Amino acid sequence: MSTVFEVTRLRKNFGGLTVTDDVSLSMATSDRLALIGPNGAGKTTFVNLVTGNLAPTSGTVTLAGADITRLNAMQRVRRGLVRSFQVTRLFQEMTPEEHVALAVLQREGRTGRLFGDFRRMPRVMEEVRDILGTLGLDGLATRKVSEIAYGQQRLLEIALALALRPRVLLLDEPAAGVPQSDTGRIERALEMLPPDLAVLMIEHDMELVFRFARRVIVLAAGKVIFDGLPDDVVKDARVREAYLGSYAQ
């Protein structure tokens, strides 16, 4: 499989403090990668760097062979690097159908045609129905976001990301705040993501990590201290000391 996403010696300094310390990683098409580490390890800073929300001190970010280090966040989205967030950023009075249609039209540069018009666009509506159906949200398509459960709102956020047709999808704690009874919905959604999509997930729920990931990277104090198979991460002494603790016993 060819490399679709690559980060090389990425560094971020805030004054004399190095928060991201020469981080390198690569992802191939269809990768399922979990990025884990203790609070303060630099995970969120790393994602902000690769998505264009922060400028790196040094290093490069490459997507599909093109250097995107100097592109802004929206330019990276248009190239296929899409991120979801820890906390849902949805419009409470809009429906899932409207949200996904807006994302589709945004991708096509036609956001001015959203309200009233999108239902008369057969191709847009077909895509909206397909995406909502994939994530099990088709029965809630016309309900206001304020009326649906938080776990379903997290699924809607993934639906919005998919509507942008990413090559690489960064999921920032997709199960954060979701009741334990609803995490199964998140897992089923992850299983139904397109097989040719490269997915990097930040997550603290280790059970979810081990069910999702084919590869795990561990950050500690801004450095990569492990990059390998899920079965091996619990055996690594540095990882046990820095993060997993009793989980690895």
Q: What is the pLDDT of residues 106-125, one digit of tens each?
A: 888 776 655 557 888 889 99
Complete DSSP assignment for 102-157 = HHHHHHTT-GGG-TTTGGG-HHHHHHHHHHHHHTT-GGGTTS-GGGS-HHHHHHHH
Q: What are 223's two structure tokens?
A: 């450095």
Q: What is the pLDDT of residues 122-139, one digit of tens each?
A: 899 999 999 999 889 999
Q: What average pLDDT does range 54-71 have in this prediction?
A: 96
Task: For 178-233, list the strands marked E by DSSP.
Answer: 198-202, 215-220, 223-228
User: Can you give the pLDDT at residue 33?
Assistant: 97
Q: What average pLDDT does range 175-201 have in this prediction?
A: 87
Query: CA torsion angle for 95, 99, 104, 105 (degrees, to 10)?
Result: 90
Please say whether the beta carbons of 19 and 222 come within 8 A.
Answer: yes
How far out from the chain centre does Cα 24 lie?
A: 18
Question: Looking at the DSSP assignment, which residues form a beta bridge with residue 5?
Answer: 27, 63
Quote the pTM value: 0.88
User: Can you give the pLDDT at residue 189?
Assistant: 87
Cα R_g (the chain), whole angstroms: 18
Q: What average pLDDT does range 204-212 have in this prediction?
A: 88
> 3-248 adopts what CATH topology?
Rossmann fold (3.40.50)
Please say whether the beta carbons of 173 and 18 come within 8 A.
Answer: no
Q: Which amino acid is at 25?
A: L
Write down how long the chain is.
249
User: Can you give the pLDDT at residue 113?
Assistant: 57
User: Can you give the pLDDT at residue 246?
Assistant: 47
For residue 165, give the H/E element and its range: none
3-class DSSP state for residue 185? helix
Q: What average pLDDT does range 56-68 have in this prediction?
A: 96
